Amino acid sequence: MLLVTAYWRTNLTLRQLAPLFGVSKSAASRIVSHLGPLLALKPRRRFRKNTVLIVDGTLVPTRDHTIAERSKNYRYSTNHQVVIDADTRRVVMVGQPLPGNRNDCKAWELSGAKSLVGNTTVIADGGYRGTGLVIPHRRERGQTELPAWKEEHNASHRQVRARVEHAFARMKSRKILRDCRLKADGVHHAMLGIARLHNLALTA
């Protein structure tokens, strides 16, 4: 487990990491492939009444171009829909990775996140327009400014939604999420494992 978490934290190559644990490169690769999925976060499927969730997408630069596409930052990336509990700030699920050129409103459904949350209230940013989620008020055509009460709602919305950005910042302290070399499901398993470590750190 220590080897896997060190790999996620440092993003050293397996050739660099293996000697630190006294194993061969192939053994280190087998350990990462075997234990990575076992550390994965299991999605929560039931929520208590009045639970509020927050969703946002984050891009993970990925070298496996079979699952990635050029995104708005001009790097091959995968889009990961991450859902957290607004109260506890823990990650409750991470959707299946999609090519980085998919916008969030499409990725919300295609990643499987939408079906997992059911009818639970979910807060999101303006990129999720038309999804039925709670998003900020927007000016209508011809409207120069929003009414004061809508501005107040938006300010409150921004404050709460910032919690998912804080979660991303903590998760991306693991350098593998800045340049992932893992192939196929590897990036998804890394994302799920790091989400689980994030939750453990919050409860420590």
For 66, the token pair is 């079979």
Residues 103 and 117 in one domain: yes
- The predicted pLDDT at position 74 comes to 75
Are residues 77 and 1 part of one domain? no
Amino acid in position 110: L
Confidence category of residue 185, pLDDT binned at 50, 70, 90: very high
135 shares a domain with 196: yes
105, 184: one domain: yes
Is residue 23 located within the same domain as residue 103?
Answer: no
**Structure confidence by residue, pLDDT tens digits, 35-94:** 999 999 999 988 999 999 999 999 999 999 999 999 877 789 999 999 999 999 999 999
51 plus 22 within the same structural domain: no
Domain match, 102 and 190 both: yes
Q: List the domain range (segments joined by +) for residue 123.
A: 43-203
Q: Do residues 3 and 21 make contact, with C-beta atoms less than 8 angstroms apart?
A: yes
| Confidence category of residue 151, pLDDT binned at 50, 70, 90 | very high
My answer on whether 124 and 186 are in the same domain is: yes
pLDDT in tens, 101-131: 999 999 999 999 999 998 999 999 999 999 9
Residue with tokens 């220590």: 2
**Could you give the angle at the alpha carbon of 128 between the alpha carbons of 147 and 111, nearest 5°?**
165
Residue 141 has pLDDT above 90, yes or no: no
Residue 199: name the closest of 79, 116, 94, 104 by CA: 94
Q: What whole-number distance in Å separates Cα of residue 126 and Cα of residue 124?
A: 7
Same domain, 140 and 83: yes
**Number of domains, the chain:** 2
DSSP symbol at 134: B
